[in-house]
């Protein structure tokens, strides 16, 4: 059995330990039963974002967006496609900067859409502007410290 990786449940914010060789078998949160790495983009609140960015050992790509932003809305299907492509070795989430403006301030965000890649408690890289799925996948694979 491989070493466990810490994954924050993006539904209830509980930290779970999952053997990395079991990621493809659809692990679920031990508290709420939500799937931990299913290739879907999860909407986050600031508390869950803070916990996941500090705890997760798998790459976590977060889309900072707003509903009024045309490029953000245009990129959403591409972001979802990239999430499916990289599952279960990377997870994707989004946070609405209109609902949570304090997040923009905390991360020094000056323009959206902005993708920030986190892993092992650190920000790894940023990618600004609307991008096609292939560019997003390439970005994660080139910067992540794991098999993505």
72 catalytic, yes or no? yes
What pairing do the DSSP bridges indicate for beta strands 60-65 and 91-96? parallel
- Kind plus residue range of the DSSP H or E element containing 88: none
**Catalytic status, residue 69:** yes
Distance CA 37, CA 72 (A): 23
**Any alpha helices (H) in the chain, and if so which ranges?**
46-55, 70-86, 101-107, 133-143
Among the options 9, 29, 32, 69, which is catalytic? 69
What is the torsion angle, in degrees rounded to the nearest 10, for the CA atoms of residue 86, residue 90, residue 96 and residue 101? -150
Kindly give the pairing relationship between strand 42-43 and strand 4-8: unpaired
Active site (catalytic) residues: 69, 72
């Amino acid at each position: 059995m491989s070493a466990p990786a810490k994954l924050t449940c993006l539904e209830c914010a509980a930290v779970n330990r999952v053997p990395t060789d079991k990621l493809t078998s659809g692990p679920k949160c031990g508290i709420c039963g939500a799937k931990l790495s299913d290739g879907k983009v999860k909407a986050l609140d600031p508390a869950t974002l803070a916990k996941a960015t500090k705890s997760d050992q798998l790459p976590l790509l977060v889309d900072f967006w707003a509903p009024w932003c045309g490029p953000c809305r245009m990129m959403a299907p591409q972001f979802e496609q990239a999430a499916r492509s990289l599952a279960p070795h990377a997870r994707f989430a989004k946070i609405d900067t209109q609902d949570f403006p304090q997040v923009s301030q905390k991360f020094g965000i000056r323009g959206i859409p902005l993708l920030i890649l986190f892993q092992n408690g650190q920000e790894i890289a940023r990618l600004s502007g609307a991008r096609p799925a292939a560019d997003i996948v390439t970005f994660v694979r080139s910067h992540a410290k794991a098999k993505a």
